[in-house]
Amino acid sequence: MSVTCLTCGQEWPRDPVLEVVCPTCHAAVGSHCKRPSGHEASDVHAERDRLAMRTIAGYGQCPTIPPTNEPRAAPQQLALHF
């Protein structure tokens, strides 16, 4: 299932966050983050998102938005700023 950025339209075959091991819960590549109870989390851990932004080429900064060192906001939040 492909994932598309709601801001710039960039597309990936799979969510780039799932391409790295989660440093918080140790969820494997391709697996969703887990809660301490072991159940699947409804979102990814922030540290996993930051790791993906540092390691996955083209992820974390829309090509049409000037670079920043701030973590990216959720797509819904980005849409509200425009």
**Cα angle, residue 73 at apex, residues 29 and 78 outer, rounded to 5°:** 125
Considering just the CA atoms, what is the radius of gyration of the chain in Å?
Answer: 13
Give residues with Cβ within 8 angstroms of 65, minimum separation 6.
Answer: 7, 8
Query: Is residue 55 within 8 Å of 21, Cβ to Cβ?
Result: no
Q: What pTM value is reported for the model?
A: 0.69
pLDDT in tens, 27-82: 999 999 999 998 999 899 999 999 999 998 888 777 766 555 555 555 444 333 43
1's tokens: 């299932």
